Chain A
């Protein structure tokens, strides 16, 4: 399994820079991916990102597969105007809770900030035996669909 890159390493800084450049290039697209639009906001030609950086791709997939409780999500608080970062509760009937005061004025920047938050929060060995919990026996470890 792919390790989360260590703080202060060049690998980690390169990954952050690539993620940021992809995020910026997606502004204006009615969709989003960690890929770089050759012309910003235009998906005719996309390169880089997860297609050309396998370590970034796998780290992102690890992050995306985190279990639902406490998982980051983006909330659109004003249509086409404002977005906030929140966390899912993992409990039916308890809505996501906004966890940051930062108000985004586009739907892309929060994607990058969540990537940075996860890099900070996930230990290098997340998902390896030293992180075993009882929950692995009852699907708490899996990538649940619903």
Chain B
């Protein structure tokens, strides 16, 4: 099995002709590798299809480059650089913590101590930790003092430590917020330390401790470069403070109030005049929740840089349960949840660049990396025309937010239950095996963090091994997302269409301007994850006469936003999503944690923000199942002259798509239906349906029922079906929805000579013409109800 010694990523997904794209490569072992640029045509290796196809590119790179290892320093933390006030002789450190993995399995990938608030390296310095046995611990140089009582996971504890340099007395307080009936009373513990704190240039670290400060090239991708951190903490940290004297327990209690600047006349910068004289730092995570800076309200402004994007907007130790939006009561959201597998940016060195030729076609491309020993990786990217320089009448909207949501997905490996929903034993590919070992590459928004809490961010500045050709996904046992969308690209190429491509990022930032010079927009097979401005732009486009071909299912489902703290690194670097109270959820956000940290908007399903899925292209998700696919049949609506042109060359009675490279049929995986009560326009025509043909692995979506009951599967429930649908939009526009993720997998069948290919061609040929579509017959102009015709 290949060990994946080559991995890499680019600085962007979309690049304009004439611009330069940069590539970052880890080559772990081989002394050199070859880099080329290729055009991607088909990524599916299934022998029943056309096979893997790539094309050479004019003006490609053809370089042999020296191999070097590059690593990801994952796990989130905060740091403030060393400064004299931090080099205290005595101290009080205090904070609230909600640890999620105080104790880990000895084989756990980061088993060992966890740092809470530390200025400590190699037995020099001071700090609060959790020791490998799961007890809170204070360290002065090499002296360790631990609480006799272990920490309870998923519970708040107040912890504090004081050290008096004059007496050498070191005291540790561990005070659980919740006391159960049989809990012992946890008394403070103390010891005497006979030496002074040894100071080093190590920074103060929040949720970690400094491991090394080195010139090692592998440490340069840490932040700050050359300073590596260990003991990445899993859990919430709230209101940490450092004072330069050993406070009494009463003073510690008062110090919980923090620096409280702004009332200097009465008490200087502190909860009392006396305490204001000893504060070194008092971080308030409730400020700047939409940033990656942890604000220090103390006198020295030791604002901590947050690295690898820990989760903010998290309920604090004082959350009241009466406010659910952090913007309304930020002081109840003074917690940051750190995870030892967070990653915001691999921060690798550039290995090579490619300047896109000015006359380059807008297409799917990839940097292809190979070694003579058989190592291989592809780094996909897209050449996107500038607005006003469109090259075609057709544009393919690459669902990159959805690709990011699924980036480096671990569900088959993490989740015992994966087998239940795929209805077979999942198959893992070598990408999955690599990721199972290399947790530092981060997970997907479908996964839970290594501490079991949901992943709500995904960065594209890391190798994303799921956006690869030759990759079958366990959900489909076939291509999914990127390689599945290549089925459609293969079809466009084979049928001889000229097309442009652009990404979700382009549309999110450019709005309608990105769409309006095209006659037709084609989606990917599963554009599930969307920004609000993207939905706005699609609505505006179809309203003004644009044509939309929705080539899949389960789209327009989840609320996404790009985190503004990364705007300086490019478009759409980090996407955020929360899995709230409904929808298909592989994890569920905790109460009070439904609002995005980056934009402050309510997360969850667009449906629960009043943007029904069905309103975008006429259909919305109704069921999913992952074992095998089925096929469609035309319905009487197909004979309506408004849409009967779509049947040209196809018999009304023939099975539509009872073949294919995804599940064996065109109707499968996830399926959308027409529902005029959920936003399908009342004049929508259901052209074809797969009703009655799905297996018991297919289940109705949970947002469509309120009461658990039998009969929700494909063998019994009428809404477990896909509906291929058509409707007109104003000004000669229209939407045609194919309503199945598996649909595009049937296009390449028999060298694209099949009825799914024919149906798609009929629609595309009509939709791509200049000017408005022909008007419908006069008798079809009539007012229709939603539930009552």
- In the assembled complex, which residues on chain B have CB atoms less than 8 Å from the CB atom of A76? 427-430, 472
Q: Smallest CB–CB gap between A102 and chain B, Å?
A: 14
Give the contacts of A84-133 with B (CB-CB under 8 A). 86, 88-89, 91-96, 107, 110-111, 114
Give Cα A88–Cα B472 distance, bound, in whole angstroms.
Answer: 19
Contact with A along B664-708 (1 / 0, CB 8 A): 110010000000000000000000000000011100000000000
**Across the interface, do A29 and B628 meet the contact criterion of CB distance under 8 Å?**
yes
Q: Does B200 contact A (CB under 8 A)?
A: no
**Across the interface, do B45 and A80 meet the contact criterion of CB distance under 8 Å?**
yes
Q: Smallest CB–CB gap between B737 and chain A, Å?
A: 22
- In the assembled complex, which residues on chain B have CB atoms less than 8 Å from the CB atom of A71? 416, 419
Number of B residues with CB within 8 Å of any CB on chain A: 67
Give Cα A73–Cα B477 distance, bound, in whole angstroms.
Answer: 13
- In the assembled complex, which residues on chain A have CB atoms less than 8 Å from the CB atom of B476? 30-31
Contact with A along B30-48 (1 / 0, CB 8 A): 0000000000000001111
Q: Smallest CB–CB gap between B30 and chain A, Å?
A: 20
**Across the interface, do A30 and B427 meet the contact criterion of CB distance under 8 Å?**
no
Q: Smallest CB–CB gap between A24 and chain B, Å?
A: 14
Give Cα A74–Cα B410 distance, bound, in whole angstroms.
Answer: 14
Q: Does A144 contact B (CB under 8 A)?
A: yes
Cβ contact of A46, chosen from B415, B585, B695, cutoff 8 A:
B695
- In the assembled complex, which residues on chain B have CB atoms less than 8 Å from the CB atom of A91? 105, 107-109
Give the contacts of B431-463 with A (CB-CB under 8 A). 433, 436-437, 439, 446-448, 450
Cβ contact of B109, chosen from A26, A93, A110, A114, cutoff 8 A:
A93
Q: Which of B11-19, B613-621, B653-661 contacts A (4 or more CB under 8 A)?
A: B653-661
Q: Smallest CB–CB gap between B287 and chain A, Å?
A: 32
**Across the interface, do A31 and B629 meet the contact criterion of CB distance under 8 Å?**
yes
**Across the interface, do B664 and A43 meet the contact criterion of CB distance under 8 Å?**
yes
- In the assembled complex, which residues on chain A have CB atoms less than 8 Å from the CB atom of B433? 75, 95-96
Contact with A along B398-437 (1 / 0, CB 8 A): 0000000000001111111111100111111110010011
- In the assembled complex, which residues on chain A have CB atoms less than 8 Å from the CB atom of B45? 79-80
Chain B residue nearest to A61 (CB atoms) is B420
Cβ contact of A93, chosen from B411, B412, B439, B587, cutoff 8 A:
B439
Give Cα A89–Cα B107 distance, bound, in whole angstroms.
Answer: 10
Give the contacts of A25-70 with B (CB-CB under 8 A). 26, 28-35, 41-44, 46, 50-51, 57, 61, 64-68
Q: Smallest CB–CB gap between A89 and chain B, Å?
A: 7
Q: Smallest CB–CB gap between B471 and chain A, Å?
A: 9
**Across the interface, do A146 and B447 meet the contact criterion of CB distance under 8 Å?**
yes
Q: Smallest CB–CB gap between A25 and chain B, Å?
A: 11
Chain A residue nearest to B478 (CB atoms) is A30
Cβ contact of A146, chosen from B105, B429, B586, B695, cutoff 8 A:
B586
**Across the interface, do A67 and B416 meet the contact criterion of CB distance under 8 Å?**
yes
Cβ contact of B427, chosen from A44, A68, A74, A144, cutoff 8 A:
A74
Cβ contact of A68, chosen from B110, B416, B660, cutoff 8 A:
B416
Q: Smallest CB–CB gap between A142 and chain B, Å?
A: 8
Give Cα A64–Cα B417 distance, bound, in whole angstroms.
Answer: 7
Given contacts A42-B658, A96-B436, contact A75 B428 (CB under 8 A): yes
Give Cα A75–Cα B435 distance, bound, in whole angstroms.
Answer: 13
Indicate the member of A72, A88, A107 with the most B CB atoms within 10 Å: A88
Q: Smallest CB–CB gap between B696 and chain A, Å?
A: 6
Give Cα A92–Cα B416 distance, bound, in whole angstroms.
Answer: 13
Q: Does A78 contact B (CB under 8 A)?
A: yes
**Across the interface, do B472 and A144 meet the contact criterion of CB distance under 8 Å?**
no
Q: Does B1 contact A (CB under 8 A)?
A: yes
**Across the interface, do B110 and A93 meet the contact criterion of CB distance under 8 Å?**
yes
- In the assembled complex, which residues on chain A have CB atoms less than 8 Å from the CB atom of B1? 75, 77-78
**Across the interface, do A51 and B695 meet the contact criterion of CB distance under 8 Å?**
yes
Give the contacts of B96-112 with A (CB-CB under 8 A). 105, 107-110
**Across the interface, do B416 and A32 meet the contact criterion of CB distance under 8 Å?**
no
Give Cα A78–Cα B2 distance, bound, in whole angstroms.
Answer: 8
Q: Smallest CB–CB gap between B450 and chain A, Å?
A: 4
**Across the interface, do B416 and A66 meet the contact criterion of CB distance under 8 Å?**
yes
- In the assembled complex, which residues on chain B have CB atoms less than 8 Å from the CB atom of A33? 423-424, 627-628, 695, 697
Cβ contact of B696, chosen from A43, A50, A96, A143, cutoff 8 A:
A50
Indicate the member of A28, A72, A94, A107 with the most B CB atoms within 10 Å: A94
Give the contacts of B69-106 with A (CB-CB under 8 A). 105
- In the assembled complex, which residues on chain A have CB atoms less than 8 Å from the CB atom of B478? 30-31
**Across the interface, do A114 and B628 meet the contact criterion of CB distance under 8 Å?**
no
**Across the interface, do A146 and B425 meet the contact criterion of CB distance under 8 Å?**
no
Q: Does B383 contact A (CB under 8 A)?
A: no
Q: Smallest CB–CB gap between A110 and chain B, Å?
A: 7
Q: Does B338 contact A (CB under 8 A)?
A: no
Chain B residue nearest to A108 (CB atoms) is B424
Additional pairs, 10, CB under 8 Å, beyond known A64-B423, A79-B430: A30-B664, A31-B628, A33-B695, A34-B423, A42-B658, A51-B696, A61-B420, A91-B109, A94-B109, A143-B420
A-B contact pairs, 25 of them (CB 8 A): A31-B478, A31-B627, A31-B628, A31-B629, A31-B662, A35-B695, A43-B665, A44-B658, A44-B665, A51-B696, A51-B715, A65-B416, A73-B425, A76-B430, A89-B107, A91-B105, A91-B107, A93-B450, A94-B107, A95-B437, A96-B413, A96-B436, A146-B411, A146-B417, A146-B447
Interface residues of A (CB under 8 A from B): 26, 28-35, 41-44, 46, 50-51, 57, 61, 64-68, 71-80, 83, 86, 88-89, 91-96, 107, 110-111, 114, 143-146
State the 8 A-B residue pairs at the shortest beta-carbon distance, nearest first.
A93-B109, A33-B627, A68-B416, A95-B436, A43-B664, A31-B663, A92-B450, A30-B478
